[in-house]
């Protein structure tokens, strides 16, 4: 898949040889859900890898041979530290002799809805003093098309080094899905687009030593746009099925039965399911990067904006349904005891980023409900307006609750016991139906 016919400049050829022989020293900036697994995969391929993160607690964990990411076992970190394959630091001095570096820093949205690229800017500027001929830099942080060329490239060239001849720059979108065991950093196809064909060749060579399938793209913009298309596809289709749930509710039809029936078609249909809202770093945020960027060329991304509006309003719809459910039992939401079951953004992980559970809990509290939660993966929540700890005795809390609200369908929960002991259950994930648990006490989204 790699194009070996490109005539490489001397600096590129020497770097490619170091990469192919695993003699290159690599670096990873940002050691979160993307950076730590990447560092491990590169080290397991035989490279010496140095990680940099501003969070001293993360660095201390790594240096002690401990993992703070569920997808990376402690044993892997401990073994790689023992072998001298990985190290971590809070300072960029540790990257002084680096040959290749991947930037995996956060790219959140500001409250105003525009992209916050300050982490990319900071990482790039901090790296500049350690640039040298024969070095490759790859941005992995999700962002809008043009970021690598317009923002990172000028910083790397400001001291006179020429990208494509002396140093090499590419974009390769992270595709991490926390909690998955079938598709990992190692075997998920890796899209890579360089500023120049030489940049693409060098960057693909680096990743090809450690990953199963490399997919070269013709430019950084193509690679950047591909990531946004992936997550916009999911956001729009989730919005569609969420709106289908709203329509079915109005028409008195079971949306879950509708989806089950439609999913029997062996072609032309892909199953998505509704829920209490979108969570995680990617799907709720990435499409809005594209929408924001398109405003600069006087184009309104109407489908993205509408999908975001539908998905963002789902926690309020959940609130309304809980209110209606309690009203049917002659109970007011104010003063009711509610137990939220699952607060992570997706099943079987501890990741709270953009979790709709936070919105649901906040809305319930604003209405005067007494809210508790249980999550086997999240022992406590520190919110800007409130702090909560997961209840220690799930079934005791279930018995006390006027309504159990299932937000995240963790598989470590004994749903049969929850069903047996609950007075009333609002199931936003249809998880009880999967276990054949049905009855008048269960209300589905």
Residues sharing a CB contact under 8 Å with residue 118, sequence separation 6 or more, in sequence order? none
Taking a C-beta distance cutoff of 8 angstroms, is the pair 304, 288 a contact?
yes
DSSP type of residue 366: H
Helices 255-262 and 220-251, packing angle to 10 deg: 130
* Positive or negative torsion for Cα 295, 300, 304, 306: positive
Which residues on neighbouring strands pair with residue 211, listed in sequence order? none
Compute the chain's Rg from CA coordinates.
Answer: 24
Helices 314-328 and 220-251, packing angle to 10 deg: 20
In degrees, to the nearest 5, what angle opens at C-alpha 120 toward C-alphas 238 and 222? 55
Among 104, 199, 248, 282, the active-site one is 282
Helix (H) or strand (E) holding 169: strand 167-171
Long-range CB pairs of 108-112 (<8 Å, 24+ gap) are 108/281, 108/285, 109/285, 109/288, 109/289
Buried b (16+ CB within 10 A) or exposed e, 291-317: bbbeeeeeeebeebeebbebbebbbeb
Taking a C-beta distance cutoff of 8 angstroms, is the pair 382, 343 a contact?
no
Percent composition of the chain: helix, strand, coil (DSSP 3-state, to 5) = 40, 15, 45
- What would the DSSP string read from start to end of 283-322? TTTHHHHHHHHHHTTT---HHHHHHHHHHHTHHHHHHHHH
Query: Is 157 buried (19+), middle (13-18) or exposed (0-12) by CB count in 10 A?
Result: middle
Annotated catalytic residue 282: yes
Q: What is the rounded CA–CA span in Å between residue 356 and residue 83?
A: 41
Any idea which residues carry the catalytic annotation? 282
């Amino acid at each position: 898949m790699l194009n070996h016919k490109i005539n490489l400049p001397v600096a590129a050829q020497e770097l490619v040889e170091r990469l192919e022989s695993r003699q290159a020293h690599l670096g990873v900036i940002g050691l979160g859900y993307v950076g730590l697994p990447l560092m491990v995969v590169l080290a397991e391929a035989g490279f010496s890898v140095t990680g940099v993160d501003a969070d001293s607690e993360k660095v201390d964990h790594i240096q002690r041979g401990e993992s703070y990411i569920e997808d990376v076992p402690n044993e892997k970190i401990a073994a790689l530290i023992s072998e001298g394959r990985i190290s971590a630091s809070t300072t960029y001095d540790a990257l002084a002799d680096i040959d290749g570096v991947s930037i995996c820093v956060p790219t959140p949205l500001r409250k105003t809805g525009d992209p916050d690229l300050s982490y990319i800017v900071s990482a790039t500027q901090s790296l500049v003093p350690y640039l040298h001929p024969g070095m490759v830099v790859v941005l992995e942080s999700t962002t809008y098309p043009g970021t690598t060329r317009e923002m990172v490239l000028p910083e790397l060239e400001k001291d006179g080094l020429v990208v494509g001849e002396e140093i090499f720059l590419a974009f390769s979108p992270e595709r991490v899905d926390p909690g998955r065991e079938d598709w990992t950093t190692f075997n998920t196809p890796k899209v890579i687009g360089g500023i120049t064909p030489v940049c693409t060749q060098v960057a693909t060579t680096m990743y090809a030593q450690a990953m199963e399938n490399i997919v070269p793209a013709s430019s950084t913009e193509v690679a950047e746009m591909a990531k946004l298309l992936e997550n916009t596809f999911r956001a729009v289709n989730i919005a569609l099925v969420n709106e289908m749930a709203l329509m079915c509710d109005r028409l008195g039809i079971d949306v879950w039965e509708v989806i089950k029936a439609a999913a029997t078609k062996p072609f032309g249909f892909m199953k998505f399911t509704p829920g209490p809202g979108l969570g995680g770093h990617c799907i709720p945020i990435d499409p809005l990067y594209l929408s924001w960027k398109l405003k600069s060329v006087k184009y309104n991304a109407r489908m993205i904006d509408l999908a975001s509006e539908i998905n963002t309003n789902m926690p309020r719809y959940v609130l309304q349904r809980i209110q209606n459910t309690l009203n049917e039992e002659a109970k007011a939401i104010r003063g009711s005891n509610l137990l939220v079951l699952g607060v992570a953004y997706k099943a079987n992980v501890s990741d709270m980023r953009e979790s709709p559970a936070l919105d649901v809990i906040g809305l319930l509290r604003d209405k005067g409900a007494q809210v508790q939660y249980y999550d086997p993966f999240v022992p406590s929540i520190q919110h800007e307006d409130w702090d909560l700890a997961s209840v220690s005795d799930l079934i005791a809390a279930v018995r006390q609750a006027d309504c159990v609200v299932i937000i995240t369908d963790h598989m470590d929960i004994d749903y049969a016991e929850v069903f047996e002991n609950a007075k009333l259950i609002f199931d936003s994930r249809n998880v009880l139906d999967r276990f054949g648990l049905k009855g008048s006490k269960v209300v589905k989204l």
